[in-house]
Structure 1
Amino acid sequence: CNAFSEIHGLTPCYTLNGSVLKDASDTISLDLCSCDFNADGYRLPTEAEWEYAARKTISGMQSGLTASGQVDKYGKEDTSIPEEEVSWSASNAHGSHKVGTAGSPFTEDAPPVAGSGNPNGMGLFDMSGNVCEFVWDWSGRYIESEPGERASGPEAGSERVSRGGSWSEYTPFIYAGDRYSYDPNECYNYLGFRFVRTVK
């Protein structure tokens, strides 16, 4: 995230003792770093930000017991829309796809174009399924925050939360409210991430 921020002339978010992190292999520093949420650079979303993006619709919030995007044109929950129309899951995929393709026809000889599928209520693609997405928060119980404060989970931990489920049979729970957690040093072909930015 920091490198991508610097490439685009933005202020990096992740620092340790005031120094911008530049070595992605220095896992101890990465685990101990802090995030400047006011910086305009790229970062991982908090768990609360991720869930808001997965559940927000034009008419409110969809249930956490449905795949992100299982809503009608009015933003109302619509479980008659098949999960396969909004997500790459164990039932319709055997690997990850370009982001923004869920719901578009897929054949090995004609892969879908990114952005060709069905978005969720906020216009975002593949919030459910495809790959489990790491977020900033360490895994733990939900922590209450005061109104106006940023909810960002425990200050330390051994596993970071990942959300959205994936195409893999090992992480099949793709509903907007489902949670997983992994050591951030683990690497599987069904784990990924999504960048966000704080825009003022």
Structure 2
Amino acid sequence: MRRTMICLSILAAFQIALAAPADVNDLHVQRLPDGRLELSWTPVTTDDSGNPLTTVAYSVYRSVSPWAARSEFVWVGGTAAPRYVVQSTEAAEFYRVSALDPDVPGPSPWVQIPAGTFTMGQAAVAGPEHDVVLGQDFLMGLTEVTNLEYMAAAQWAIDQRLATIVGTTLQAHGVSLLDLGSYYSEIVLLDGQLALRRTLAASGIGSYLPWRHPVQMVSWYGAACYCDWLSQMSGLPLCYQFGWGAGDVYSNTGYRLPTEAEWEYAARFDDQRSFPWGNTIPNCGNANHAANGVPCVGWTLPVGLLTWGDTALGLKDMAGNVFEWTNDWWGNYSSSPEFNPAGAPTGSGRVIRGGCWLFDQAALSASGRFLPSVPGGFASFIGFRAARSLPAAE
């Protein structure tokens, strides 16, 4: 067996707040009977200062030289488990592994949206226009939930026996949450564990780090479960409790999906703008979409990359990249209550908002509504961001 060197490093965060990373200091390697290499290590539970880490994810890199600069190491994959099997196509002599805590439930990646009144809808886009009152402040994720964040939370849920892997899907409570086996999947099942990979569908954009990209191939149920997992990690009440939003989401202070009204209010705050950034025509500098039918990139981009597309409150990627699941069933929203509307009481499809990398400018309008989406379905162009109602004291 060739000498294998395990190098340690700290992986910096991109656009999202991460807790202090921790070095893995007991990496081991063994060659499997089929010739592949298995890297393993003791799970990391604290950072270098001794502070507990809530959810841990790891990145694996390779190089042909022990003296290679950090930038010269090539990303191989990611995992939420303290083990990674190196495929034959990724074999090398030298490896390094980094450990970090996404710290998803923490306060830094959230933007506080003040309570207020606005006119929902635009007659020329998605009428009818009607006044809506949102009666309390709420939080929305600064960015769409990333692959890294979702994978780490899903691994936590598996460890807590809140979710399980059935075939090539992540499941809980009899419904499918995440497709792990699609051509488009970036979170996949590798030797029985969750791992990150570059999807072949993104070959047009070359090398990229999927942990920075928004999770997709996630169902509405998968998005709702993620929110409940965050609440359980943080000691907050569960919004869905696997009743799938039958109660009053506004009065619940746990993590949840934003209502359609909250989503539009945040995107258009506070001047009724047509697009999250203002009223100028979309371009590839402010939204990752298919401009005039030609994709800007042909796949998702790292969350928060296109800062020219930020909202007035600093929310990122509210137009383009991936459509975002909202809490609401699809329905005629003009008949919803004026105060804290939560959509139709039931239905066959959930509302998605915001446009995506695959669709043209028409889907990017901050007031636009796309076709209802089946809550158990998966798509390479649908992701989500989380929200949370704030009690008056906060």
Normalising by structure 1, we get a TM-score of: 0.71
- 1:199 partnered with 2:394: no
Distance 2:323 2:282 in 1: 20
Match of 2:251 in 1: 38
- 1:151 partnered with 2:362: no
**Aligned 8 A contact 1:119 1:125 in 2:** yes
Q: Percent identity?
A: 36
Match of 1:54 in 2: 267
Q: Deviations over 1:112-155 (max 9, x none)?
A: xxxxx6411121000000100111111111134555x2111110
Structure of higher CA gyration radius:
2
1:164 alignment partner, one of 349, 354, 369: 354
**Aligned 8 A contact 1:138 1:159 in 2:** yes
**Aligned 8 A contact 1:100 1:126 in 2:** yes
Gaps of 5+ in 2: 1-226
Match of 1:3 in 2: 229
**Aligned 8 A contact 2:267 2:311 in 1:** yes
Q: Deviations over 1:14-58 (max 9, x none)?
A: 1xxxxx33xxxxxxx53x74353222211011111000011113x
**Aligned 8 A contact 1:144 1:151 in 2:** no
Moved more, 163-172 or 83-92: 163-172
Counterparts in 2 of 1:171 and 1:138: CA distance versus 1, 3 Å: farther
Residue aligned with 1:135, SS: strand
Match of 1:106 in 2: none
Considering fraction of residues, name the structure with more strand.
2
Normalising by structure 2, we get a TM-score of: 0.38
Distance 1:153 1:184 in 2: 15
**Aligned 8 A contact 1:143 1:154 in 2:** no
Distance 2:255 2:346 in 1: 21
Letter in 1 for 2:298: H
Letter in 2 for 1:128: A
Distance 1:11 1:196 in 2: 14
Distance 1:186 1:170 in 2: 22
Distance 1:37 1:54 in 2: 18
Residue aligned with 1:61, SS: coil
- 1:68 partnered with 2:259: no
Distance 1:94 1:186 in 2: 22
Counterparts in 2 of 1:187 and 1:158: CA distance versus 1, 3 Å: same
1:177, distance to aligned residue in structure 2 (A): 1.6
Over the aligned positions, Cα root-mean-square deviation in angstroms equals 2.2
Match of 2:190 in 1: none
Distance 2:365 2:233 in 1: 34
1:178, distance to aligned residue in structure 2 (A): 1.5
Residue aligned with 2:301, SS: coil
Residue aligned with 1:84, SS: coil
Counterparts in 2 of 1:82 and 1:166: CA distance versus 1, 3 Å: closer
Distance 1:171 1:192 in 2: 18
Gaps of 5+ in 1: 15-19, 22-28, 72-76, 104-116
Counterparts in 2 of 1:36 and 1:52: CA distance versus 1, 3 Å: closer
